Structure 1
Amino acid sequence: MILMNFKPLKILLGLLAGTTAAFGQTAPEQMDLYLLIGQSNMAGRGMTDAASQPNSSKIWAINRHNEWKMAADPLHEDKPAVVGAGPGLTFAQEMLQKQPGRSIGLIPCAVGGSGIDDWQPGAKHEQTGIYAYDEMLARVKEAQKRGTIKGIIWHQGESDSSPEKKGAYAAKLADFFKRLRRDTHTDNVPVVVGTLGDFYVAKNPDAAVINQIIADYAKGNKLVYLASAAGLVHKGDDTHFDTRSARELGHRYAEAFLKKEE
């Protein structure tokens, strides 16, 4: 009689089952979708850490290959060598906390270094080669197969903080959102716009004009709300939020978004 040791087999089967479960998860059929757009401080440049991978089956993100993955930082793929923790993941976690019965799908489309002119149809962002607006529309269309856009969050303006560009920013921002709402069928969807960091204004005083334009746009337009970056700090480069501040900004985006329901 031959005695067989089944213990290694059981271990192998257990590992295979765990692997199958991990890879077998798919995004829910219906999610609340949130569009994340702007430049590097929306994409995120903070250091990633353990909190960057929450492994929540309730929060998903669509990548540039139109694949849904459980959301983790970095969410964006604009500059793979430097992208990191941004506000988007914390924003989603805050929204989930307030609406635990829902599943969230993030549509990350920020492009570091992009100016408002780079968010025009057909415009190519020279630093990255990304057609920011066109790629965003294509990704939104794919994402909408699994849900409805419930909100848009925007952080951009550093690249337009110059004497030559600041004067035209207000009109260009208004035109951008008018086009965006039309092209994504989001006329009745809340938008939250964020101000630039105090540290950036200190380095570049023209950024104060951009912040005022952003604040005025939120104040003067229906379904537009403001997330202030006041008091947040940079990661040592006078330009990008550190991890803690990026997450706090995400919290402020969610707070501004949820105020509409009060």
Structure 2
Amino acid sequence: MIRPLICLLAFFFSVFASAADAPLPAKDKFYLFLLVGQSNMAGRGVVEEQDKVVNPRVLMLSKEGQWVPAMDPMHFDKPAAGVGLGKTFGQIVAEANPGVTIGLIPCAVGGSPIDAWKPGVFYPPTKSHPWDDMVKRVETALPAGTLKGILWHQGESDSTAELATAYGEKLHDLINRLRELVKAPEVPFIAGQMGKFDGVPWSPEKVLVDKAHQDLPKSAPRTAFVTAEGLNHKGDKVHFDSAAYRELGKRYAAAYLQMTK
């Protein structure tokens, strides 16, 4: 009994090692995408069997900094991390670009306001430094590939009377800092809409933050806005359900492909 068990464990370890150490494509054929924001970028959907199916041309940077096949949950910000939009996005972009491998860099932090995405800022709820931690992951990822886009989903934590009015200015500053970080002044930046769920009214502050997202294509070059119209929440009136995250990933991918066709 012991010997078969040892053989089985050895098999699984070898599979894991081969996945983690798989040779990467040439740098110009490895398209990298940065996933940034709060919990609706990290994903809080229930993981189903389809979310565990991997595509050999869609990888993610693991918590340990290794390139592994993308599988939900991709993020590790909180124990609640689940299905998000990133994997679906990566699969569609890979399908549209034969011969290219997609590399996703998960960096979102649940609950984080936009002010947490500045150098040196500590975010107590997750005991992390969202910006500084992201910088380390970007520095790990960039030597292997070419950054092709930044995906942003955030805003709920800034939809307050104290923060909403300054959100637009802060968003433009963030975009500039991210582009400077990755040394790509024209890299596409795509912002997704906060959940617009039936029976869940928006406050005036949330409308203001949403307007900053919607106005991006008119006020900042190489940006796009993705609507969340018609998508459902998971029962908490805040986070999308698994099907909605997959649909949101499709919408982000459509926006990216439209921008780069």
Question: What's the TM-score once normalised by structure 1's chain length?
Answer: 0.90
Which residue in 1 is equivalent to 2:50? 51
Deviates more, 1:24-33 or 1:83-92: 24-33
Question: Rg: which structure is higher?
Answer: 1
Which runs of structure 1 show a deviation greater than 4 angstroms over 4 or more consecutive aligned residues?
Answer: 12-19
Counterpart pick for 2:135 among 119, 134, 137: 137
Counterpart pick for 1:120 among 118, 121, 133: 118
Q: Which amino acid in 1 is paired with 2:71?
A: A
Contact 1:45-1:241 within 8 A present in 2 as well: yes
Gaps of 5+ in 1: 1-8
Alignment size in residue pairs = 253
Q: Deviations over 1:188-225 (max 9, x none)?
A: 21111111111296154421111111111232211101
1:24 aligns with 2:22: no
Matches of 2:11 and 2:194, distance apart in 1: 47
Which residue in 2 is equivalent to 1:6? none
Question: What's the TM-score once normalised by structure 2's chain length?
Answer: 0.90
Q: Deviations over 1:139-178 (max 9, x none)?
A: 0111012101011100000000011111010111111111
Counterpart pick for 1:92 among 86, 90, 93: 90
Which residue in 2 is equivalent to 1:191? 189
Matches of 1:257 and 1:170, distance apart in 2: 22
Matches of 2:217 and 2:61, distance apart in 1: 28
Which residue in 2 is equivalent to 1:146? 144
Contact 1:192-1:225 within 8 A present in 2 as well: yes
Matches of 2:201 and 2:188, distance apart in 1: 30
* 3-state DSSP of counterpart to 1:113: coil
Q: Return the offset for 1:74.
A: 0.6
Structure 1 pair 185–17 and aligned structure 2 pair: CA distance change class (3 A): same
Q: Which amino acid in 2 is paired with 1:207?
A: K
Contact 2:45-2:83 within 8 A present in 1 as well: yes
Matches of 1:19 and 1:120, distance apart in 2: 38
Q: Which amino acid in 2 is paired with 1:74?
A: P
Gaps of 5+ in 2: none
Matches of 2:172 and 2:202, distance apart in 1: 26
Q: Return the offset for 1:259.
A: 0.6
Percent identical pairs in the alignment equals 40
